[in-house]
Amino acid sequence: MSDGFGKGCHLHLIDGSAFIFRAYHALPPLTRKSDGLPVGAVAGFCNMLWKYVTDERGSDAPTHAAVIFDHSSKTFRNDIYNAYKANRPEPPEDLRPQFPLTRDATRAFNIACIETQGYEADDIIAALSCKARDAGGAVTIISSDKDLMQLVGDGVQMLDPIKGKPIDRDEVFEKFGVWPDRVVDVQALAGDAVDNVPGAPGIGIKTAAQLITEYGDLETLLARAGEIKQPKRRQTLIDHAEQIRISKRLVELDCNTPLDFTLDSLEVKAPDAAQLLGFLSEMEFRTLTVRVAEKLGAKAPPVVSAPVRDAPAVPDLPPIDRAAYETITDGAGLDRWIQMIRDAGQMAIDTETTGLDEMQADLAGICLAVAPGRACYIPVGHVAGGDDLFGQSAPVAGQLPLADVLAALKPLLEDPAILKIGQNLKYDWKMLARHGIHMAPLADTMLMSYALNAGTHNHGMDELAERYLGHKCIAIKELIGSGKSQINFAQVPIDKAAPYAAEDADVTLRLFQHFAPLLPVERVTTVYETTECPIVPVLAEMEMAGIRIDAEVLRRMSGAFAQKMAALEDEIYALAGQKFTIGSPKQLGEILFDKMGMTGGKTGKTGAFSTSADVLEDLAAEGHDLPARILDWRQISKLKSTYTDALPTFVNPDTGRVHTSYSIAGAQTGRLASTDPNLQNIPVRTEEGRRIREAFIAAEGHRLVSLDYSQIELRILAHVADIPALKQAFREGIDIHAMTASQMFGVPVEGMDPMIRRRAKAINFGVIYGISSFGLSRNLRIPRAEAQDFIDTYFQRFPEIRAYMDRTIADAKSDGSVRTLFGRRINTPGINQSGPAAGGARRAAINAPIQGAAADIIRRAMIRMPAAIAHLPARMLLQVHDELVFEVREDAVDDLITVARAVMENAAEPAVKLSVPLVVDAGTGMNWAEAH
DNA sequence: ACGCTCACG
DNA sequence: GACGTACGTGAGCGTA
């Protein structure tokens, strides 16, 4: 062949079997809708291949590629050692039929698909690597299997497909303690429980590496085993020499595995659109089919029936056609649309504005849609491109006046018989509220997706459109650019803006039609109707109210902090013996650990030293001064940059107040999140930090009132896990942590050692988070075994908690989701993973119903609050997860506390009758520090 | 853009 | 038998 494999070529070898198992464990057990064929692993496999194929690699792109599979479980290694891989469990029932399908998938992607009877994939990969390397080419093995690491080096590298991280000689050395050419020796000694490679009993990787390093290689070691000093180790090696040699043959990969094809035949070919799409649609992978079709510029074949959860069959809709949208520039056109909306009884609406801060942005236009494909754009604020000499831009001619448009739409927008459909309607609600329009009733596609899909994916419109409509929206960047040259939406020419804007309304309407029927099917209608939608106007009003800030106080604090930091910096440089960037963990780590030789481990990921407060506190406790000063500096620096410096920049010049924005669908559990600025993490735990709250002040003649739920998550735990001891303690109003300590350690509550109570408190919190002995030991700085003892005692004393945890995990596994008391669903797609990720998914699943129920309760309180306090000169300003902050005229403080407390304490009812009381603590003052 | 660190519940 | 671990967030900084 003229262009045969050789120098300059790059061969990619994909470990297909590993892909399959990873896909199987990462995904819920999907089945093909039409016949129930299990296809979850195939789906994951295809997604991974597609991601691999579309990955941009530039000059590193492969010229040749193959996916290699294990042919069967019996290989030549079983002739060497018949127990080889004997304790491997059989593959799960529903995975087996998927093996041949993954081969079909590989061929459909037009990638060479290789397997050989009697050999493992690893052997074929080894043979191909050797052959390609000898021909002068480069090889990348896409796998993280440690058994393949012996092949690394000399033009052969590995690539971890999950982390996307190359594995080179250094990584291999880190793992095995020897270079790749001696890896088999170490493996032969250490053995492998998973593959049932015996090795030498009692010798692990560490010892093996040490021995090999000392003696050079395995044969030398075995020959000179008699010289080993440690008697036990010496005897082991002598007694098991044969077993070790067999082990080596088991782990050693053979470059001479027969291959019945040439390297040239592995040349990379573009996928054949028809073949690939045919396969994907036959598997009924709707989303992927659409995505692939789009990328290949082909028409997606119809997918007859779609996978269940992800994408139910979409009714026949006209395709999205941006040319079909109208631009409304005259009164007659507007009237016609108003009539259409009245006839339809619903409208999708989206406002286009000059910025993202809805407190300050101006309206550029409004888009409406009444049916899929029927959408319009009403420009009202577009201006000519460039600014004139005075920084003013001239309005573009031919637009309807803003006031006229709003006057015409107001009756519709406030008509209780017309449903307003939007994506993130809080934004549009606030824009319109500034013009005196109070939209109702509302339907929000973002919140529908949140009710259905929390935990599965995010809920931005572009993502939803791609996922559920198979449509890629115009990116806003294409219109307004990005970075320094970014313009605002009003400066976009109307003919460019209209298709983008109208498309948003069209897409929103289509998403609404997609989601609306799913809410009852998935039993999330109640959550959506009672805790998602009604919170929109409540939050909008809170955000518009804002909170008053004393910027002068903050500025003074900044000045004081700056002085303190300067002094600390001098001290730090002196202690370190040099100047450096204190804020750089990298430089700090080098100084502490390399230069000054303090002891502290590296972290896994980047290999950098950890300099977190945890580590520095330990060092400080050992008597080092530098880490202690660094901790001081960090604390001040944080307070200054994040709070005292930043907060004044958020003061709105028109209102003189700070207006945060709450994201309703941001957190997976139902909690809100606060941004721009985040007012949910204002310091409180240290005295110095707490003083920042003094700058949050009430308006003239007013007070701030803070009401917060006491121990709400533990109370919920007591209720849902049905723990009699805990419930009774809450009913009797006794100190819950002291009670726990008393039960665990058998000491009386009276006169308890605070240390013991602290431990019980840590365990109580640990339970909510899905406790582990490791976490508890770190938190309490006690040995792991001791932490484990505490946990054992705790579970013994409160067995209901263990039962609750097991139940929750089982639910998550069988349903793919967990629910709160109020029916909120949080999906748990990672729960069936294996490996380290599984632990995290399990803890998240345990925590979600508890944190989520607390979030539901305070949401319910917030929704009822405006009506409950309407008769009082008071308004709700902030929410901090279990706390509500109000601004009240000073003569109405007591009334407000009485009313608001009642609303909060009864918020679970009537939906849920809790078996423990909810208790709300109140505080009041001129500022937030006093009130909290 | 990403990781580290740290503020909150 | 090892893995890496408390749950949920957002912001500022340094580094790439």
In this complex, the residue with its CA at the shortest distance from the C1' of nucleotide B4 is A585
When pLDDT is averaged across residues A382-407 and rounded to a whole number, the result is: 83
Q: Closest nucleotide (CA of A581 to C1')?
A: C14
pLDDT of residue A305: 52
Q: Closest nucleotide (CA of A771 to C1')?
A: C6
pLDDT of residue A313: 47
In this complex, the residue with its CA at the shortest distance from the C1' of nucleotide C12 is A642
In this complex, the residue with its CA at the shortest distance from the C1' of nucleotide C9 is A673
pLDDT of residue A390: 60
DSSP element (H, E) containing A819: strand A817-819
Q: Closest nucleotide (CA of A606 to C1')?
A: B3
Contact A19, A45 (CB under 8 A): yes
Q: Closest nucleotide (CA of A775 to C1')?
A: C6
When pLDDT is averaged across residues A111-121 and rounded to a whole number, the result is: 89
Count the neighbouring beta carbons within 10 Å of the beta carbon of residue A350. 28
pLDDT of residue A521: 87
Protein CA A851 to sugar C1' B8 (Å): 15
Protein CA A380 to sugar C1' C12 (Å): 38
Protein CA A692 to sugar C1' B7 (Å): 12
Q: Closest nucleotide (CA of A778 to C1')?
A: C6
pLDDT of residue A19: 87
Token pair of A747, please?
Answer: 């000491």
Q: How confident is the model at residue A118 (pLDDT cuts 50, 70, 90)?
A: confident
Q: Closest nucleotide (CA of A604 to C1')?
A: C4
In this complex, the residue with its CA at the shortest distance from the C1' of nucleotide B8 is A681
Q: Closest nucleotide (CA of A589 to C1')?
A: B4
Protein CA A606 to sugar C1' C15 (Å): 12
Protein CA A431 to sugar C1' C7 (Å): 35
Position A304 pLDDT exceeds 70: no
Protein CA A775 to sugar C1' C7 (Å): 12
When pLDDT is averaged across residues A393-411 and rounded to a whole number, the result is: 95
Name the burial class of residue A501, with classes exposed (0-12), middle (13-18) and buried (19+) by CB atoms within 10 angstroms of its CB.
Answer: buried
Q: How confident is the model at residue A311 (pLDDT cuts 50, 70, 90)?
A: very low
Protein CA A14 to sugar C1' B3 (Å): 29
Name the burial class of residue A724, with classes exposed (0-12), middle (13-18) and buried (19+) by CB atoms within 10 angstroms of its CB.
Answer: exposed
Position A758 pLDDT exceeds 80: yes
Q: Closest nucleotide (CA of A635 to C1')?
A: B6
Q: Closest nucleotide (CA of A772 to C1')?
A: C6
Q: DSSP secondary structure string, A417-428?
A: TSEEEESSHHHH
When pLDDT is averaged across residues A268-282 and rounded to a whole number, the result is: 88
Protein CA A739 to sugar C1' C16 (Å): 52
In this complex, the residue with its CA at the shortest distance from the C1' of nucleotide C11 is A642
Position A605 pLDDT exceeds 70: no
Protein CA A932 to sugar C1' B8 (Å): 14
Protein CA A872 to sugar C1' C6 (Å): 43
Protein CA A543 to sugar C1' C14 (Å): 33
Protein CA A203 to sugar C1' C2 (Å): 15
pLDDT of residue A308: 41
**pLDDT tens string A183-240:** 999 999 998 877 778 888 888 888 898 899 889 899 999 988 888 888 888 888 888 8
Position A849 pLDDT exceeds 60: yes
Q: How confident is the model at residue A1 (pLDDT cuts 50, 70, 90)?
A: very low
Position A741 pLDDT exceeds 60: yes
Cis peptide upstream of residue A29 (ω within 30 degrees of 0): no
pLDDT of residue A196: 79
Contact A424, A451 (CB under 8 A): no
Q: Closest nucleotide (CA of A616 to C1')?
A: B5
Contact A830, A840 (CB under 8 A): yes
When pLDDT is averaged across residues A398-420 and rounded to a whole number, the result is: 96
Protein CA A574 to sugar C1' C5 (Å): 37
In this complex, the residue with its CA at the shortest distance from the C1' of nucleotide C3 is A836
Q: Closest nucleotide (CA of A843 to C1')?
A: C7
Q: Closest nucleotide (CA of A684 to C1')?
A: B8
Q: For chain A, what percent of residues have pLDDT higher than 90?
A: 63
pLDDT of residue A74: 80
Enumerate the nucleotides of strand B whose atoms come under 7 Å of any protein CB: 3-9
In this complex, the residue with its CA at the shortest distance from the C1' of nucleotide C6 is A775
User: Residue written as tokens 């250094």?
Assistant: A170
Protein CA A843 to sugar C1' C5 (Å): 9
Q: How confident is the model at residue A386 (pLDDT cuts 50, 70, 90)?
A: low
pLDDT of residue A371: 95
Least confident of A276-290, A358-372, A558-572: A276-290
Contact A697, A550 (CB under 8 A): yes
In this complex, the residue with its CA at the shortest distance from the C1' of nucleotide B2 is A606
Protein CA A684 to sugar C1' B8 (Å): 8
Phi, psi of A504 (to 5 degrees): -60, -45
In this complex, the residue with its CA at the shortest distance from the C1' of nucleotide C14 is A584
The residue among A777 and A485 whose pLDDT is bigger is: A777
Q: How confident is the model at residue A388 (pLDDT cuts 50, 70, 90)?
A: low
When pLDDT is averaged across residues A647-658 and rounded to a whole number, the result is: 94
Position A62 pLDDT exceeds 60: yes
Rounded distance, CA A930 to CA A706, Å? 9
Protein CA A439 to sugar C1' C6 (Å): 43
Q: Closest nucleotide (CA of A777 to C1')?
A: C6
When pLDDT is averaged across residues A14-41 and rounded to a whole number, the result is: 83
Query: Which amino acid makes up residue A4?
Result: G
Protein CA A918 to sugar C1' C1 (Å): 45
**pLDDT tens string A542-594:** 999 999 999 999 999 999 999 999 999 999 999 999 999 999 988 999 899 88
Q: Closest nucleotide (CA of A482 to C1')?
A: B1
DSSP A374: E
Rounded distance, CA A601 to CA A146, Å? 24
Position A307 pLDDT exceeds 50: no
DSSP-assigned beta bridge partners for residue A702 = A889
In this complex, the residue with its CA at the shortest distance from the C1' of nucleotide B5 is A612
Q: For chain A, what percent of residues have pLDDT higher than 70?
A: 97
Q: Closest nucleotide (CA of A647 to C1')?
A: C11
Enumerate the nucleotides of strand C whose atoms come under 7 Å of any protein CB: 1-16
Protein CA A724 to sugar C1' B2 (Å): 47
**Cβ within 7 Å of nucleic strand B, residues:** A 585, 589, 603, 605-606, 608, 610-614, 616, 631, 634-635, 638-639, 642, 680-686, 689, 851, 880-883
pLDDT of residue A431: 97
Q: In this structure, is the dihedral angle defined by the CA atoms of residues A575, A581, A586 and A590, taken in order, positive or negative?
A: negative
- Helix, strand, coil distribution of chain A in percent, nearest 5: 50, 15, 35
Q: DSSP secondary structure string, A27-59?
A: S---B-TTT--B-HHHHHHHHHHHHHHH---GG
When pLDDT is averaged across residues A153-180 and rounded to a whole number, the result is: 85
Position A846 pLDDT exceeds 70: yes
Average model confidence (pLDDT) for chain A? 90
Protein CA A804 to sugar C1' C8 (Å): 20
Token pair of A408, please?
Answer: 């015409």
Name the burial class of residue A233, with classes exposed (0-12), middle (13-18) and buried (19+) by CB atoms within 10 angstroms of its CB.
Answer: middle
Protein CA A608 to sugar C1' B2 (Å): 14
